[in-house]
Amino acid sequence: MARPLRLQGENCFYHITNRGAERKKIFISERDYAKFLEYCGNAIDTYRCYVHAYCLMSNHYHLIIETSRANLSQVMQYVNGAYTVYFNRQRKKCGHVFQGRYKSLLIEKESYFLELTRYIHLNPVRAKIVDKPEGYRWSSYTAYVDKEQPSIIDREKVSGYLGLNGAEYRRFVLDGLGEGNNPLKQARGGMILGSKEFIEDQIKKLESMRSKYNVSNRRQLMRDIEPAEILKVISQETGKEVGELQKRSRGQRLRKIAIYVLRRTTAQSNEQIGAVFGIGNSAVSKVVREVEELRGNDKEVGELICKIIDYFKA
């Protein structure tokens, strides 16, 4: 069955959620929560997006993300991928951390941003973890009501969207304590949340995408970028000769980045990529994991990868 196309665009707002595989915990220690937020912060810097609200529960998370470019998939691939590598290495495990593809809901800011932030911030209260949202450490609520609290969110932007000051927002959220309203249930087809006009406009865009990409699987959706093209762009960006990137003894980091970009953005298999660099399938997988972690900890590497991927965007 074909995966549904994602509605991606510039200056769009999304509600994002994902759960642990088999509903297991994805956050166990305090360091896990902090590390996930660190990766969100890296994504903000690298992909020029905004995380406007978040709530990290033990076995799932909620985010509200605004993209300035049509790159939501890149943002979430980085955040989920980097966290998976971190989580597994901490516990000397391998395999999936999340249950599958993250769920994204395109939202109309004017109609639902305020209500959706309240819903997200009340998650720990509904789960009976705390009596009031300010008692929960791993959500953005305290940053909404207290300007002194450190946070990854852009308070100025959020304040403009809310139209409320901290005290007013606190009252608004507390007024919802006794309500069982879930705005997510009002989403159209599990994809769009907004007014009738907003939904109709987005459905037209979706139909246009279906026409453009009349395909049945993920590989057909991806551009068939040749390894030589990737190497040429990296060569241009770094001043290294293409031949150097293919040698094990020279340009090692850039060589790994080339392998990573090929695996993450093209239809090339591990075997095909390995043939270009003279390594096996498992070595390709190992390199991808290494660069995923490096990307989360090295801003320069993250920016280079983003620049290369942007070059090949349709």
Domains and CATH numbers, the chain: 12-212 (3.30.70.1290), 222-311 (1.10.1750.10)
313 pLDDT tier (thresholds 50, 70, 90): low
Instruction: Check residue 220 and give its pLDDT.
Output: 37
Using CA atoms, how far residue 42 sits from 150, 271, 296, in Å, is 15, 31, 7
**Mean pLDDT across the chain:** 84
Residue 6 has a pLDDT of 65
Rounded-to-10 torsion of CA 48, 54, 56, 57: -150
pLDDT exceeds cutoff 90 at 152: yes
pLDDT band, very low/low/confident/very high, at 246 (cuts 50, 70, 90): low
pLDDT for residue 204: 75
The yes-or-no verdict on residue 269 having pLDDT over 60 is yes
Contacts of residues 90-96 at CB distance under 8 Å and 24 or more positions apart, as own/partner, are: 90/31, 90/32, 95/21, 96/21
Residues 4-13: pLDDT tens digits?
Answer: 556 677 789 9
Measured CA to CA, the distance from residue 135 to residue 178 in angstroms comes to: 17
Which of the residue ranges 2-6, 43-47, 234-238 would you say has the lowest mean pLDDT? 2-6
Which one-letter DSSP state was computed for residue 293?
H
Q: Where residue 253 falls among pLDDT bands split at 50, 70, 90?
A: confident
Tell me phi and psi for residue 17, to 5 degrees.
-145, 150
pLDDT in the model for residue 22: 84
- pLDDT band of residue 248 (cuts 50, 70, 90) is low
For residue 139, pLDDT over 90 is answered with yes
Which region among 38-42, 115-119, 264-268, 281-285 has the lowest average model confidence (pLDDT)? 264-268
Over range 221-225, report the average pLDDT: 46
